C-alpha cells in the first residue's frame, strides 16, 4: 500500500506545522555594568585621596569618619585601612600634598627682579593657591591632628619665610640694616600675607590684584621707612 506524501500546497492548505520559534536573546546588561571595571591600586588610592580631601575641607578631621570615606568611594572600610592605615594616614598624605603644592607655587613665582616685585609675586602666589585650591587651603589653615613636626600651616609659613629671609637679608645689607634681623621681618611679612589670605578666603573682596596691591603697599612702604635702630615711644621698656 502506497502512502501519498502531501505536497507543499496541500500542507499549507491543511495547516503546516510551525517550526519551533527561536528563543529571545537575553537582555543586555545595563550600560553601567558593561562599563564598570575594577580600579587599579593607584586609581583607588587617588579616589580615596580626592574624597578625603573634599570631606576634610568641608567638615574637618574630627567630623570626618572612615565609614563615610569608604561609603562615598563605594568600598569597605578595610580598603581605606589597606591604603593608608586609617584616617590619620589619609589626612597626612592630603596635607603633605597641599603643602608641596603651595610651596611649589610660591617658589616658582619668585622669579627675581626688584624687591617690591618679589613681594608682589609672593602675595599673588598665595592668593592664587587660595583661589585655585580652596579646599586644600581650608585644610591647611586648620591645626593638623597628626603628631608630626611637619604638616601644619605654621610650619609651611615658616618654610616660605625662610625663602623671603634670604631676599630680605641681601636687601638689609644694601641699606645698612642688621641682616641678622631678616628672619624676624620675614616672619612678619609672610604672616601678614598669610592671615590676610585666610580672611580673603571667605571675603573674596576686593579683587585679588587689589588685595595684593594693598598688602605690598603696607609692606613696602613700611620697609622703605624703616629705622636702622627702631625705638619705643611709650613708657614701657620691657
Task: Encode pLDDT of 105-141 as tens digits.
Answer: 988 998 878 888 988 998 999 999 999 999 999 998 8
Annotated domain spans of the chain = 96-224
CA dist 150 and 95 (Å) reads 9
Minimal CA–CA distance to 145: which of 198, 90, 102, 199?
90
Q: Is the peptide bond before 24 cis (omega within 30 degrees of 0)?
A: no
DSSP annotation of 112: -
Identify the top-confidence range among 29-38, 85-94, 172-181: 85-94
Residue pLDDT, tens place only, 156-212: 788 888 878 888 888 888 888 899 999 999 888 888 988 899 899 889 899 999 999
Q: Tell me the torsion sign for CA atoms 78, 84, 85, 90.
A: negative
Which helix or strand (DSSP H or E) is residue 89 part of?
helix 87-109
| Residue 99 clears pLDDT 70, i.e. is over it | yes
**In terms of pTM, does the model score above 0.75?**
no
Locus of grid cell 502506497: 2
CA torsion 115-117-121-122 (nearest 10°) is 30
Q: Which three cell numbers stand for residue 133?
A: 585650591
**Domain 96-224 CATH class label:** mainly alpha
Q: What is the pLDDT of residue 134?
A: 93
Amino acid at each position: 500500500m502506497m502512502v501519498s506524501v502531501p505536497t507543499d500546497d496541500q500542507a499549507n492548505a491543511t495547516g503546516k506545522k510551525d517550526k519551533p520559534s527561536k528563543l529571545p536573546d537575553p537582555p543586555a546588561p545595563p550600560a553601567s555594568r558593561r562599563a564598570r571595571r575594577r580600579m587599579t591600586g593607584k586609581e583607588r588610592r587617588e579616589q580615596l585621596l580626592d574624597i578625603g580631601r573634599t570631606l576634610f575641607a568641608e567638615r574637618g578631621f574630627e567630623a570626618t569618619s572612615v565609614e563615610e570615606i569608604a561609603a562615598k568611594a563605594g568600598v569597605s572600610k578595610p580598603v581605606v585601612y589597606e591604603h593608608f592605615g586609617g584616617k590619620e594616614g589619609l589626612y597626612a598624605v592630603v596635607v603633605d600634598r597641599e603643602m608641596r603644592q603651595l610651596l611649589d607655587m610660591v617658589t616658582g613665582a619668585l622669579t627675581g627682579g626688584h624687591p617690591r616685585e618679589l613681594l608682589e609675586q609672593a602675595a599673588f602666589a598665595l592668593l592664587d593657591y587660595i583661589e585655585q585650591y580652596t579646599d586644600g587651603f581650608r585644610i591647611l589653615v586648620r591645626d593638623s591632628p597628626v603628631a608630626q613636626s611637619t604638616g601644619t600651616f605654621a610650619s609651611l609659613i615658616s618654610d616660605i619665610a625662610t625663602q623671603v629671609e634670604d631676599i630680605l637679608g641681601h636687601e638689609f645689607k644694601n641699606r645698612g640694616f642688621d641682616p641678622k634681623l631678616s628672619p624676624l621681618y620675614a616672619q612678619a611679612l609672610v604672616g601678614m600675607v598669610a592671615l590676610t589670605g585666610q580672611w580673603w578666603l571667605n571675603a573674596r573682596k576686593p579683587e585679588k590684584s587689589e588685595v595684593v596691591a594693598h598688602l605690598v603697599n603696607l609692606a613696602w612702604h613700611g620697609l622703605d621707612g624703616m629705622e636702622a635702630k627702631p625705638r619705643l615711644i611709650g613708657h614701657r621698656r620691657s
